[in-house]
Structures are given as structure tokens and as C-alpha cells.
Structure 1
Amino acid sequence: MWSQPYDVLIVGAGVAGSALAHSLAHAPSSARSKPLRIALLERSLAEPDRIVGELLQPGGVAALRKLGMEDCLEGIDAIPVHGYCVAKAGQNVHIPYPDRVEGRSFHHGRFIMALREKAKKAPGVDVIEATVNELIECPFTKRVLGVRATRQGEKESFFADLVVVADGCFSNFRSAVMGGAAAKSATRSHFVGTILEDVKLPIPQHGTVCLVRGNGPVLLYQIGEHDTRMLVDVRAPLPSDLKAFILSNIVPQLPASLHTSIHTALLKDRLRRMPNSFLPPTEQGGAHTKEGTFLLGDAWNMRHPLTGGGMTVAFNDVVLLTELLSEVRDLHDWQEISRVLHRWHWRRKGLSATINILSVALYDLFGAEDEALEVLRTGCFKYFERGGECIRGPVSLLSGIAPSPLLLANHFFSVALYSIWVMFTHARPVQESGREKPIQAIPRPDEYPGLAVKAVYVLWTACVVFGPLLWTEIRWW
């Protein structure tokens, strides 16, 4: 069965796909004489149940407002978020958002359903429940003409001038769209999640990041009036008994006020997990991508979810892409679409590169796996304790309101240098013979030569963390 042809066909009605369908339908365009016909295809239109994608940074809220979709945050029991609390060994640092901006946290599925409902009401948009099986290609030019899908048990073909693949982190079509140019995703850990009921976080309406010795960080944030999400970062390979691992290794290091709720949640709820993947963006269009199609959202570019920046990047991508596509007269013209994709790739860099780099770099620091990274993690915590610009700058980057890789580099290496200063001048635990517990002692002058060598290693480690991440963003292929 063949459907009527569309102007744009979007595979995946998640965050990026739903937003793009609504945005394109409402975008003013002097280049086209008639409104677009858009098909939004999704395998299941039932409410999804995921443990990530539940915190939208202030930069994402601002982008959602530009798209005319801010009301999707209403009526879903969303919680205002005013910043972060970083907890380490019983000490807390308050990191508020600047200028009274707000984020939102919520149940992922409720937000997705609101986005889909908004897309359904957009003029010219058909939201269709169908499983996309393959891309339809012209046998002569290899241009993508549409997709074959299964709807209510029947095979159906959908055709469009332009096919946008936004089917998420587990994309079935990433390689088909980009071929050999597709970047490879890397997974170093998993988030293991559950919901705690009626708990009191150290600072209400703030995301809480708990730094845990010997493990990745633990995130807690309220996603409803009674529900608080807990995400435990667990490195690969995963333990065979995750609940026992969390109870014995993680819970004792968390605030005591959370222990009872965590035990209750682990007894009555199953733990779910999600891979924490990093997928750098590769330029699309021209020879880099199969003609007639391109990737959007997590199908194309992923970052570690520690900073909660994924949806912020996605909504900002849609804002820019809609603006550029509204200038295109003929969506079938691949040369023009390729020029749009090139401009889009580099215009998005300010925000996307900042959040992408920050997410992985901060994870390396918070999930310190060696001695140098532990020095950087301690220095980062104490850097935040200084307050002022040492908090305002980093949280502006994290929240998506200061899209500046240069500012990020400045603060990252300021943390590195301050970490070295802390290593020389601050007390650290020292185990002395005859004492059961270590004492706190400032390094002696005779220790300085060894610390100087260690300082070089710490600075080198900072460069090794930051440099490759920056390269993945500025390279031209």
C-alpha cells in the first residue's frame, strides 16, 4: 500500500521528532507557496517509560519557548529546578542557576505525550503509529525516497521529498543514512535507576549530585510531587547483583536521610538501566549522507547524560534547523539541503559543543578512576566552594545559557590549576603508624618535589581529557 506523498517524513516521535514536526508546520516561509505536509511516524504512541530525559535545563526551556511548545511543561506534574547541590563526604555545595532562570524536571513519558499531542494539533501534520522497517531508495540514484513501514499489520510505503531520521539512541538507521561516515558510539557506564517516594533532598527543587568514592556519581532530582529519580552510575561490566552492589557500596556514602527510602525502593521496584553513550556529531549532507535524508537528535549526536543537556541540545537544534529549512523553496533539492545541513552543523556548535564536552569531561572528574583524576575531582569541588564566578560560569555552561566552548576551556583549566594549588596547600588524609584512622595534614616541604612531578601528571591528564573531546567537535569531517 502506498500513502499520499509528503513534503517531510520524520521517523521517531520522541523529543526531537515531535518538536521538529510542530516547528516546521508553524514556520513562516516566503520561499514556499503552500504549507508543508508532514508525516511523523512512531513505532508505539503509548506513553514511554524511560529513566533518562527527565530534566530540562533552562537553555532547553528557552528553546522550547521559541518553538511555541512551552505549554507542554504544564499539566504533567513538572517540578521547577533552580540549580544543583553537589555532595561529597558529608559536605554540600550550593550551585544555583544565575539570573533566576529555571529548569524543569518531570516524568519522561508524560512530557513526550505532551509533545506528541502538540504535534498532532499542528496544521498539516499526520502522526502515524507504524514500525519503520527500511528506507526506500531509488535503484538508479540511491536517493532516499521514503520508508517502508508496518501499520496495523499491513505493509505500507510512505514517500516524501525529505526524510528525517530521529529514532533515538538505539537508532536502526544510523548506518543506513551515513554509511561509513557514521561515527561510533562509546559506552563506558550505565545509569541504573529507580524512583524514591516522598524524600527530602538536601536542597529542595535542586538536582543533587553525590560524589561517591570508587564509583561514578549518583544523581537525584524530583520528577513529581511525590517522586524523586535516583540514578546510579555503574561502570562496565555491570555487577551480577545490582541491588546488592548499590546497598553495600553506594548507599552508605549517600545522605542518611535517603537510606530508608532507597531500601524501600530497591525492595519493591525493579532496577532499570540505560547505557551512557557518547556519539560525536559528524557533518551531514553532500557525500557524507545518503541523498534525501539526514539524522537528528540522539540518532546522530549523544553526550553523557550526567549534565542533563540532551534535550536542550535537541530543542536548540530544531530551532536552528527550522529557521534554515524555512528558507528552502524545494525540499527535493539535495544541493540546497546540503548547504543547509552544513550551516546548521556549524551554527549549533556554540551550544552543542559546550554541552557535549562538558558532559564527558565532568563525568571523568566526578567518576575519578585514577589518582590524577581524583586530584581534579577534589579541586573541582573546592573550586565550587569559592563561589562567585567559580559557580556562575560553570553552571551557566551546564544550564545551556552560556554556549561558549572558550568559556568552558577557561573554567576547566582553571579547575586543573586550582586542583594543583589545593594539592600543595590543603590538608589531606595521611595514615600514620599506630593510628587506626588517618589524620588531616598539610604537605611538608620535603614532599614538594614529588608533588611537582604529580602536578605535571595532573595537568597532562586534564589535557588528555579535554583535548580529544574538543577535537571531536572542531574537526571538519
Structure 2
Amino acid sequence: MATSRNSYDVLIVGGGVAGCALAYGLATITSKARPKQLRIGLIERSFAEPDRIVGELLQPGGCNALRKLGLSDCLEGIDAVAVRGYCVVNDGKQVHIPYPNGQEGRAFHHGKFIMALRKKALAAPGVEGIEATVTSLLTADGEHRVYGVCATRKNSGTETKENFYAPLTFVADGCFSNFRAEVLSEAFEKPVTRSYFVGAILKDVKLPIDKHGTVALVRGSGPVLLYQIGEHDTRILIDVKAPLPSDLKQFVLDRVLPELPESVQPALVDALNRERLRRMPNSFLPPIEQGGEQSKEGAILVGDSWNMRHPLTGGGMTVAFNDIVILTDLLRTVPNFEDWACVSQILHAWHWSRKPLGSTINILSIALYDLFGAEDECLEVLRVGCFKYFQLGGSCIREPVSLLAGISNRRFLLFWHFFAVAFYALWVMFTHPRPVAVRKGGIEKQVMRRPGIEEYPWLLVKAVRVFWTACIVFGPPLWSELQ
């Protein structure tokens, strides 16, 4: 039975990135339609500092969204490091990809950032932190509406169940969401996991370009990310295809270590001897419009519980903060959260308002991952072409990185540059020298040689296959994001 003590205007399940930002955003909304202060219950299993290997890089677009929410001071006092762009390394060569117009992102320890967000959210007017584990959503018998949650609190070694009620419940319990399927009903899609990030912390390492993330392209494995997250700490994330090898440490030593910049190698060996490699699945989950018959009334998914993209581009928090900016602004116009018809209209507007930025970052993350983690000869052609395309500089760097950084949301630019890379890769395949094995004096050597004209018929056939591969890479994520 609902009482004033356990009744709220809004419940938020999950005190992570999206949950904290949403709690603070809702606490600060005022309008003619909603002059009264909201009472918000922020439910989190544990408010202790979390320890994760992802969620440590915030792109410039995410910093801008954080500023709009009034949360930019959460980046202060946590030893956050400025990030000014990227350095992509391939076969010992590197290309500098700076953010445009001097914009900066931030990198930090995930736990420190979360604690700063929680402190800000819990200090906001009307927000109450509830340390409990949500076990189920509350629905009336035969009804399609959620009217709260059942949660378990721990008190002095004992567990007690308690119900919390609200006309609107936001589910922000992350990539391993326990309630995604229940909220979306028949529209539920399972996340697709193609690889894992294997992570460690390197101590006092010198990256190829200071205050720039490093992306190392590794043959026979996925890309490797490195970025400084503190004065002495640098995060390394190694993409490893599923299924994971039985001996991860040996895999890294044999396959990954030799292809990293020499300045990084000793620090990685030290990290492998010092700590256990940790892993995190890299999943893709396209967003499905909420508010219609396919989802339960009174419940809304936000953050990674609803939409995920490959973390290669570090765009997850940027999408989440931008989503909260748009959603909280739209909810200002809703006088009564019990009016689900009105909330449904807001969710429809939100779904399509977030599309330009969200879909751009989602599609880019999948397309870049397929290119950088090339698994066959056609993708290898595209990967080489992509690296050489970046080497052209100018708009070939400035415009793609503005999309990756969440600064621009022009999807046409993404389409244009992706297929420009594809055609340039074909040009490179026909005209640029490539390694060829030759035997001289009984010894086989690798030499660089341009394709001869006699190879052109075979290369034309291969060009068709490469272009078809490019369409397969770009088409499915584009289709999933346009729905």
C-alpha cells in the first residue's frame, strides 16, 4: 500500500551515468506546466564507488551536454585529463586527428566521475537516494502499466523488501539491465556482443601524442585504445573477438604487444605482471521507440539499458547526456506524469529528436569497428584505405572527427565520408605499392610493389567484393537507426 513516505513523482532505477544525470535534470526543471518541485527517488544497489574499465572518456559533445545540464563541475577535482584528439597508429606509422576548433574532451577514472555525479544529484532539491536492489517492477494484475518497484534493502545483515511507488519509473540499470525485456515486451531485442574489451592500467607511460587518445590497429585482433585517465594512470583497452582465448595474458603478449608503440610495451608487460586483466562485453543494441503498445506504460528505459553502441569511439556517455538534455526539456511540458497519453507523445518526440546525434555516433562506432578490426581481406582493404584517407588531412580528418566527437550530427557527412573512404580504398588498392613476397637467391623477402596491369582483371573482381562489403558494413546499422 502506498504511503507518503514511499510515494514519489518519479523513480529512477540505477545511479550511474544516465540515472544521476536524469535525477539532476528532473530536479531542476521548472515551467508553467510544472511549478511544483518533483520528489525523485534514485535507487541504487550500492552508492559505494564503482570500479569499471569503461565509461572513462567523455567526448567534447558530451562535455557540452554536461554543461547544458549544469553538471560540468563534476569534471573538476577528479584528476580528469584533457583530451584533444586522437593518434591512429598502423604498421609503425601514425596520423594525428585533432578535435576541431580547439575543443576538448575529458578522461578520468570511471568511479571518481560517478561519485561526483551522485554527489551533485543527491544534493539537488527533491532527490532522495535509496540504497536497495530492485527485484521487480510493480504492475497490477492484468494491467499493462508499471506503478513502481519492489526493492530489497540491507539493514544490519538482514534483508527487507519494500515497495516504492511513482506514476513514472525510469530504468537506467545499464548494459546488463534486468528489466529491458519486461519494459519493451514483444519489441525486445537482445544485445549483440561481438567482442570484449580487455583492460588494464599502465603506469607513467608516454603516449605517441600527449593528451590524445591512441588507437593502435593490430593485425589478427581488434583495435587497441590508450588514453590517460589520471596524472600517472593510462587506460589500455584491447578489443578481443568472441570467443575469448583461454589464456588472455599469453594472447596479449604474443599477438598484441609486438604491434604497439615501443614506448607502451614495457608498461604493458609491467601491468600484466601486476594485475589481472579485466573484461567487458562490447554490445550493440539499437533503440526502439517507447510509449506505444509495444512497451509498458509508466516505465521508460534510458542509457545503456535501452541503446548501446560499440565503445570504440567513446560515444556512450555523450549519447546518454544528450538524451537527458532533450528528454528533461520535453518533460517540462507535462503537467501530470500519470497522463500516459501525454507522456507517450513526449517519448515519440524524444525518439526522433535524439536521432541526429545518437544515430550518427551509433553507426560510426559500428562502421569504424568493422574497419579497424578487419577480419577478412576485403575489410583489410577498407582499413588500409581508411588510414590513408586520414593521412590526406583537411576535411578528411576534420569532418569525421567532428562526428565522432559528438560536435556535429550531420548524418549526410557520415554517409559521404564512409563511401569516400570506400572509393579511396579501391583507388589505393589499384595504385599504391603493397607488400609482395619475392624469392631471390633462395631467400624469400617482402618488397613494396604497385599492382601490374595484368592484375587489373582480378582486382576489378575484388573491387566489387570490397564495395559490397562496405555496403554490408554500413547498411544494417543505418537501417536499424532509421526506424
TM-score, scaled relative to structure 2: 0.97
Contact 2:364/2:414 (8 A) holds in 1: yes
Pairing of 1:8-27 with structure 2 (within 5 A)? 8-27=10-29
Partner residue of 1:284 out of 282, 285, 290: 290
Alignment match, 1:462: 470
Do structure 1's residue 259 and structure 2's residue 265 form an aligned pair? yes
Q: Secondary structure at the match of 2:215?
A: strand
| AA partner of residue 432 (structure 1) | V
Q: Is the 8 A contact 1:183 1:281 kept in 2?
A: no
Aligned match of 1:352 in 351, 358, 365?
358
Matched residue type, 1:220: L
Please give the per-residue CA displacement for 1:79-132, whole angstroms capped at 9, x wherever unaligned.
000000000011010000000100000000000000000001100000111100
**Which residue is equivalent to 1:137?**
139
User: Which secondary structure state, in structure 1, belongs to the residue aligned with residue 19 of structure 2?
Assistant: helix
Q: Which residue of 2 aligns with 1:364?
A: 370
Q: Which of the numbers 101, 104, 107 marks the counterpart of 1:105? A: 107
Name the amino acid aligned to 1:404. R
Give SS of 2:128's match.
strand
Alignment of 1:281-320 (within 5 A): 281-320=287-326
Whole-Å separation in 2 of the counterparts to 1:392 and 1:30: 42
Q: Report the alpha carbon displacement of residue 140 of structure 1 after superposing the two structures with TM.
A: 4.2
Between 145-154 and 68-77, report the one with greater CA deviation: 145-154
Shift of 1:198: 0.1
Contact 2:6 2:163 in 1 (8 A): no
* Contact map agreement 1:211 1:366 (CA 8 A) in 2: yes
- Cα deviation, residue 154, structure 1: 1.5
The 5 A counterparts of 1:385-404 are 385-404=391-410
Q: Which amino acid aligns with 2:250?
A: A
Determine if the alignment matches structure 1 residue 169 to structure 2 residue 175.
yes
Distance (whole Å) between structure 2 residues aligned to residue 57 and residue 339 of structure 1 = 30
Distance 1:66 1:353 in 2: 21
1:442 aligns to what?
A: 450
Deviation per residue, 1:283-333 (Å, 9 max, x gap): 100212101101000000000000000000000000000011111011011
- Please list, as runs of the form range in 1=range in 2, the aligned pairs for 1:7-156 lying within 5 A after superposition: 7-152=9-154, 153-156=159-162
Distance apart, 1:142 and its partner CA = 3.0
Work out the CA distance in 1 between the residues paired with 2:31 and 2:137. 28
Asked whether the equivalents of residues 38 and 124 of structure 1 are also in contact (C-alpha less than 8 Å), the reply is yes
Displacement of 1:436 after TM fit? 2.6
Deviations 1:242-270 (A, max 9, x none): 00110011101111111111111000101
Q: Decide which moves more: 2-11 or 311-320.
A: 2-11
Mapped to 2, the partners of 1:308 and 1:470 lie a distance apart of 19
Quote how far apart the aligned CAs of 1:141 are.
2.5
SS of alignment partner, residue 433 of structure 1: strand
Q: Secondary structure at the match of 2:9?
A: strand
Q: For 2:101 and 2:14, how far apart are their aligned partners in 1?
A: 35
Letter in 2 for 1:401: I
Partner of 2:205: 199
Query: SS of the residue aligned with 2:129?
Result: strand
Runs of at least 5 residues in structure 2 that lack an aligned partner in the other structure: none
State the distance in 2 between where 1:121 and 1:294 align. 24
Aligned position for 1:325: 331
**How far did residue 406 of structure 1 move?**
1.3
Structure 2 CA distance for aligned equivalents of residues 30 and 386 of structure 1: 53
Q: Percent identity?
A: 65
TM-score (norm 1): 0.99
Partner of 1:471: 479
Query: What secondary structure sits across from 2:149 in the alignment?
Result: strand
Q: Deviations over 1:129-188 (max 9, x none)?
A: 110000000224331110000112211110001000000000000011111211221001
Q: Secondary structure at the match of 2:263?
A: helix
Could you tell me which runs of 5 or more consecutive residues in structure 1 were left unpaired when the two chains were aligned: none
SS of equivalent residue, structure 2 residue 438: coil
The alpha carbon displacement at 1:437 in A equals 2.3
* 2:54 alignment partner, SS class: coil
Q: Give the distance between the partners of 1:412 and 1:220, measured in 2 at CA.
A: 24
The SS at the match of 2:319 is helix
Once structures 1 and 2 are overlaid, which stretch shifts more, 376-385 or 28-37?
Answer: 28-37
Secondary structure class of the residue paired with 1:61: helix
Contact 1:16/1:297 (8 A) holds in 2: yes
SS at match of 2:289: coil
What one-letter code is carried by the residue in structure 2 that aligns with 1:472?
Answer: S
Q: CA RMSD in A?
A: 0.9
Using the alignment, how far apart are the partners of 1:80 and 1:427 within structure 2? 38
1:179 matches 2:181: no
Report the CA distance between 1:458 and its aligned residue: 0.8
CA distance in 1, matches of 2:35, 2:166: 17
d(CA) in 2 for partners of 1:457, 1:405 = 25
CA contact (8 A) 1:309 1:398 kept: yes
Q: Secondary structure at the match of 1:387?
A: coil
Provide the rounded CA distance (Å) in 2 between the counterparts of 1:319 and 1:417: 37
Contact conserved, 1:306 with 1:363, CA < 8 A, in 2? yes
SS at the partner of 1:287?
coil
Following TM superposition, the consecutive aligned residue runs of length 4 or more in structure 1 with deviations greater than 3 angstroms are none
Q: SS where residue 164 of structure 2 aligns?
A: strand
Q: Which amino acid aligns with 2:403?
A: L
Distance (whole Å) between structure 2 residues aligned to residue 327 and residue 196 of structure 1: 48
2:146–2:297 contact (8 Å) kept in structure 1: yes
| 8 Å CA contact retained: 2:202, 2:234 | yes
* Cα distance in structure 1, aligned partners of 2:128 and 2:69: 19
State the alpha-carbon separation in 2 of the partners of residues 130 and 423 from structure 1: 58
Q: Assess if the C-alpha contact under 8 Å between 2:147 and 2:298 holds in 1.
A: yes
1:469 partner amino acid? P
